[in-house]
Amino acid sequence: MNLLEERICKEGKVLNDEILKVDSFINHQVDPYLMKEIGKEFANHFKDKGITKVATIESSGIAPALMTALEMNVPLVIMKKSPSKVLKTDLYGTEVVSFTKGTSYELTIAKSHICEEDHILIIDDFLANGEASTGAIRLIRKANATIAGLGILIEKSFQPGRQKLEEAKIEVYSLARIKSLNGGSIQFIN
């Protein structure tokens, strides 16, 4: 998606050969126009997949996932990184290791918000090693729901996430695929 790649080039900050900071338009400050266009792009790409719900992991995936759900006219389900004080039972849960933070957390989703008839589109901001995505997939599979695909804003293609997901027969659609961040330079896969 040219619009996203342009923003990455203009405002993204390469912190090292593995970390790209996009907090001025995706992570901390969110550009609603960009998110609307991203939602349209994902909705168009996955329009024939019979999507019944969009799912994401809190928190950076919420804005693009919400816009995608709005475009597809389906509910958004948010997977929590820690159990809620209110929702302690009737949850599916799995442990996930965060690449960015170098820690692990329990990812949960309420059983009442997902069922075996659902065809779920997962949306996330980054794909690196694929740990968050595979955690989300594990939760959805615990409910015997179908994974319709995975929409990623920024894929770091030099890390193994895509390969891991494709080996698991998951369709991955990334809007910006980064080939390299070496030397502070952002290089995309065309």
User: Residues annotated as binding site for xanthine?
Assistant: 20, 27, 156
In 25-181, which ranges are E strands? 53-57, 76-79, 91-97, 104-110, 119-127, 146-156, 172-180
In 6-135, which ranges are E strands? 13-14, 20-21, 53-57, 76-79, 91-97, 104-110, 119-127
Tokens of 157: 């293609």
Binding-site residues: 20, 27, 128-132, 156
Tokens of 73: 């006219």
Nearby residues of 48 by Cβ (< 8 Å), 6 or more positions away? none
Binding-site residues for 5-phospho-alpha-D-ribose 1-diphosphate: 128-132
Contact (Cβ atoms closer than 8 angstroms) between residue 107 and residue 83: no
Contact (Cβ atoms closer than 8 angstroms) between residue 44 and residue 30: no
